[in-house]
Structure 1
Amino acid sequence: MSYVGDISYSLYLWHFPAIILIGEAYRGIADEGSPIPAAIALVASFVLASLSYRFIEEPIRQSRWLEPRKRTRSARSYKPMIVAGTGVVAVLAVVFAVLVDSSGRYAGVSADAPAKPTATADPSVEDTDDEAVLKGFKVSIRTAIAATQWPAELSPSIDTVLAGYEHDAPVHACGVNPYPGVDTCSWGSPDAPVSVVMVGDSTSIAYTPMMRSLAENSNGQLRVTTFAFYSCLFADVVRQSPDPNAKKACAERNELAIGEIAKLKPTYLFITNVPSALKVEDGSELTMSAYEAGLTRFLDRVGPNVGKTVFLTATPNEKNLMKCYSPRISPKQCTGGVQPSWEAVTGAEKRVAAAIGGVWVDTRPVYCSGDVCPPFADGIIIRFDATHITDEYSVHIAAGIVALLNQSGIRLTKDNSEEATS
């Protein structure tokens, strides 16, 4: 222990840079979050402290330069040099740390990648070449899957996501309590011939920027209203939650939505719920039969007031960018496949849609190629965590979602409104 005391000052100096540099080196790889980086940092700190104690501290401490009575004139002449040398070492250490950070921050950035994200045209509900639109998404997604380096620029930026991404303020406000009101959470002309009401949890909220853009660019054709609420399935089931008020808040929001749907009588009801394995109030796993029964009970209540019910599937649960990203590794580290929970939940929704004469829309073509889903496409980050899409990508996929809706017989234009409500 006495030796540890001897090297304690060097240990104090070395432990922080060791922790930072080694932690950064392990960022985004399999051992991140394990005890391995901390153990290596501890060992490195002791090794560096021992070396600096042996070859720097001790030689200086035992040198004649520190003995005033024995210090010669020539020894005093070395003092400025030693001070300057110490300063140089400190500067070099800072430069080294900056270079390490810079090399890490920009390593893996492709010179061939687009300098800026592909511009997204204003979304429209007007007639488009659906096949051409979806082919464009297929090409951009396959290009992203094949990428071995991160694009030079992404929207939103990686730093924005890592710092804690948040939805647009008006979108977020509609998903929390108190509800701002139908007028505040509606977009598009009040006299639009086609109306959509959105319900569900945070995955439905993530689609709000897209639907808002479609309504605002519909030339008076579309009106969109959202009642989506964070952590609140639109189904007659109670999710387990650490928040003691969540059960009551969710029930109140769903009752509000059901009541307002009776007044609004929308052309379409869009439902999006999180496609994850969930637990119910007693801590047991939510079974798909219970989920189907909960959906059916709610849809029986709103059915007479809705033209057509549309299940708009959420993005497949995938890797969390905040956990898988590292500037030193390929974006393939953040590329994965469709999860079994997504298949199970959306499968249940597909069965309910068939039973009630509704429509189930598979949105994977705007997120994945087959069952492989990249972290970005067209220079835009797709998900800011494992489940939720960014506002930027939500708006970007508007044309693709319209194409998928068209292929499913759901048109957000006047010519189909009478058919939907008949």
Structure 2
Amino acid sequence: MTQQNNATMPEADDATEVTHPRVIRADIQGLRAVAVIAVIVNHVIAWPSGGFAGVDVFFVISGFLITGLLLRDHEQHGAISLAGFYARRIRRIVPAALTVIVVTATVGYFLFNRARGLSTIWDGVCSLLFVANWRFTALGTDYFHATDPASPLQHYWSLSVEEQFYLVWPWLVIIVLAIATRLLRSPARARVALAVVMAALVVVSFLYAVQQTASSPAAAYFSTFSRAWELGAGALLAIAAPVLAKLPAGIRFVVGWLGLLALLWSFVQVTDETPFPGPGAALAVGATMLIIAGGIGGRQRSLFVLDNPVSVYLGNLSYSLYLWHFPVLIFVLLLMPEQTPTVTAIILGLTLAISMISFYLVEQPFHHSPLLRRSGSRAARREAWQAWRDRFGAHAILATVALMVVGVIVGLSSFSVLRDHTPMAAPVAAPVVAENPEVQLQADLAAALTATAWPDNLSPSIDDAMSQTSNTNPARRCFDIGDTPNVDDCTWGNRSAPKHMYLVGDSTAMAYAPAFKAMAEASGDQWQITTIGLYGCRFTDVLVQNDGDGVMDACPQRKQDVADRIRADAPQLVVMSNAFALGQSTDRRPLSTGDLVASTLAEAASYNAPGRIVYLAPPPLGAPLGQCYSTVSSPIDCAVNVDAVWNDFESAFEAAAPATGDHAVSSLPFSCVDGQCPAFAGTLPTKYDQVHMTVQYSEHVAPAIRWALIAQGVM
């Protein structure tokens, strides 16, 4: 999983000095601008490598500003108005966020494939309920969804983290201040007590983040518990503001510039390989704290990178920039997959233009509306609404007209897309009469590579294939997490057949299981075939790290149980199939192709079946169907070249297997033609994701696999 998601931008008019409630801090607005630019550029051109650390900048800013608001409310009124607090959050956050969700889900419904369109709608629902991080955690830790394309609403996870934090934090502030004030009889001491509580929470959350990052990086990235320390760090600054305001100007100058330089360094130093957020986010968090602390005692005009009109304006715009940039990126790349400099300029230009429109027509009018404000009498409420209409009435009219225009454009463009991309029958090769089934498969694959439109006779359709995933695989239970399944429940064909074959490995072996089931059933009384393994678990003697939920716990025992059973059964043939992909050991040490091939051979040697091992290559990686298959794409968009890593693995196995008297079988004859691999062959989709064959295609290639095994002299 790549770390490429922005954080939410706190309220623009909340960027106020704690000791001067109505003074907007230009340096914080500029800090927002730097952070949002880093995140957007990281998403669009993958540079700087740590630009995604802008998420941490916004969390710290948010914790500082929101805690400052709560403390000012308590100091001025002797209490904190939760109704007022949450009303402000709703006015500020919901209107713009809802607009983006509705537009994104609508456009996605018409342009994406069916599965991705429906998934985007669910993403929108979860985002609106502020539980998007839970949804993306579940998908990110689900082995069968880990390679899904990014949702255009994935960046809403951080909005969910913030709002979940603020469901708890104001209540905790109220409780701690009430108890401390009563016991200590001093507002200053009550503030110290709140600082102690917050510091304890920061420490606990940080330690949790470090632990969870090591054990489950995907879950840690989206978790409120592993991110709370970043918001808490900002809260500590707000609590300590009266003390920090007394720092001499010279020290504040040094602290501010030191923080800015450290922040810029973090954007370059942090990479996808950095343990994140614990402890990898610490540099960005600490740098942001220095910048904020340096400006508490007064305006930092010397920090001109942040304190200038352009930076301040972009900081004001940052929430809209955040909301719109990711959907714009996803949709533009869907329509123009080759990201040239021109396409990059279009992405950035559209993001800025749409964000400005949204800022002036949606974000600002609703932010300053009397909605959910306590205005006293009915006359006062009428007067407040009239003043709002006088100021923003034209904005509301323009927003309505703009939404109508967008709706018409989307509707017309969608109709045009559907009309121009109506599926039609693609060229299908005429049947080739040949004993070798690979000949017909090659003809079907070649015909698919010349198709100019998606066939209307695919069965299942690619939409249906993607929705099926592995759940329809007849051997799914034989590769599932948990206790090792009963071998008898995973054996196909006549149980009294004289010959016994095992198919073992990770989920690529599971994808082959329907083919081997078909082979067993077609063999009459000759073969019984057992298909067993564990998805996400490479059958190698070195444990290869996999972040799928529960995989690492089950993998060692599953491999041991399978090896024991193979030694006991002494089958005539053992077929091993694992992913052709690089990986890491459990201590995160990179494993090379040579390491993994040697480790696979070592695992096979433990079966005590020399000369009876076949290393069956998985099909080369396919295209990301969720991304390349849509109403605006053609089959060639989902055709990919054989990847270099696959070639390295295949060459290594072909060289190593004969040395031990064993055999290597390639998957190219039923996957690709001349180095190119299409998404379908004949009337069948070949895969339901980048890695795994559909059940139907696996069954379809059974004769070709049998042919290859016969050619090797092992069947």
TM-score bracket relative to the smaller structure: 0.7 to 0.9
How many aligned residue pairs are there?
A: 360
Of 174, 198, 203 in structure 1, the residue corresponding to residue 478 of structure 2 is 174
Determine whether 1:399 maps to 2:712. Answer: no
8 A contact 1:236–1:298 mirrored in 2: yes
After superposition, give the CA deviation of every residue in 1:348-377 in whole Å (9 maximum; x if it has no partner): 222331121111111201011121111111
Determine whether 1:252 maps to 2:565. Answer: no
Of 573, 594, 616 in structure 2, the residue corresponding to residue 289 of structure 1 is 594
Determine whether 1:206 maps to 2:519. Answer: no
Determine whether 1:27 maps to 2:334. Answer: yes
Aligned residue type for 1:324: C
Q: Give distance in 2, aligned partners of 1:35 and 1:284.
A: 39
8 A contact 2:483–2:554 mirrored in 1: no
Tell me the TM-score normalized by structure 2.
0.45
Aligned residue type for 1:319: A
Higher relative contact order (CA 8 A, sep 6+): 1
Q: Give distance in 1, aligned partners of 2:356 and 2:627.
A: 29
Q: Give distance in 2, aligned partners of 1:297 and 1:93.
A: 61
Of 493, 498, 501 in structure 2, the residue corresponding to residue 188 of structure 1 is 493
Aligned identity (percent) is 26
Aligned residue type for 1:40: L
Shift of 1:317: 1.8
8 A contact 2:611–2:662 mirrored in 1: no
Determine whether 1:235 maps to 2:540. Answer: yes
Of 455, 465, 470 in structure 2, the residue corresponding to residue 151 of structure 1 is 455
After superposition, give the CA deviation of every residue in 1:333-358 in whole Å (9 maximum; x if it has no partner): 11111111111222222233112111
The residue number in structure 2 matching 1:420 is none
SS at 1:355's partner residue?
A: helix
Q: Give distance in 2, aligned partners of 1:346 and 1:24.
A: 36
Q: Give distance in 1, aligned partners of 2:557 and 2:420.
A: 49
Of 369, 374, 381 in structure 1, the residue corresponding to residue 685 of structure 2 is 381
SS at 1:184's partner residue?
A: helix
Aligned residue type for 1:320: P
8 A contact 1:295–1:352 mirrored in 2: no
Shift of 1:187: 0.6
Of 350, 360, 367 in structure 2, the residue corresponding to residue 40 of structure 1 is 350
The residue number in structure 1 matching 2:421 is 108
Q: Give distance in 2, aligned partners of 1:290 and 1:92.
A: 58
Q: Give distance in 1, aligned partners of 2:664 and 2:682.
A: 26
Q: Give distance in 1, aligned partners of 2:598 and 2:466.
A: 38
The residue number in structure 2 matching 1:263 is 568
8 A contact 2:500–2:571 mirrored in 1: yes
8 A contact 1:106–1:327 mirrored in 2: no
Shift of 1:199: 0.9
Tell me the TM-score normalized by structure 1.
0.73
8 A contact 1:361–1:404 mirrored in 2: yes
After superposition, give the CA deviation of every residue in 1:190-239 in whole Å (9 maximum; x if it has no partner): 11132210111111110001111121222222211022211111110111
Aligned residue type for 2:426: A
- Note closer, same or farther for the CA distance 1:253–1:107 as it changes in structure 2 (3 Å cut): farther
SS at 2:608's partner residue?
A: helix
The residue number in structure 2 matching 1:63 is none
- Note closer, same or farther for the CA distance 1:254–1:148 as it changes in structure 2 (3 Å cut): same
Q: Any gaps of 5 or more consecutive residues in structure 2?
A: 1-11, 13-94, 108-327, 363-401
Q: Any gaps of 5 or more consecutive residues in structure 1?
A: 2-9, 53-88, 121-127, 412-422
Q: Give distance in 2, aligned partners of 1:159 and 1:382.
A: 13
Q: Give distance in 2, aligned partners of 1:258 and 1:112.
A: 47
8 A contact 1:202–1:230 mirrored in 2: yes
Give the RMSD, CA atoms, in angstroms.
3.8
The residue number in structure 2 matching 1:311 is 615
The residue number in structure 2 matching 1:365 is 669
8 A contact 1:130–1:404 mirrored in 2: no
Q: Give distance in 1, aligned partners of 2:549 and 2:404.
A: 53
Q: Give distance in 2, aligned partners of 1:165 and 1:99.
A: 33
The residue number in structure 2 matching 1:274 is 579
SS at 2:555's partner residue?
A: helix
Structure 1 window deviating more from structure 2 (13-22 vs 330-339): it is 13-22
- Note closer, same or farther for the CA distance 1:201–1:265 as it changes in structure 2 (3 Å cut): same
Q: Give distance in 1, aligned partners of 2:517 and 2:528.
A: 9
Higher share of residues assigned helix: 2
Of 656, 680, 700 in structure 2, the residue corresponding to residue 352 of structure 1 is 656
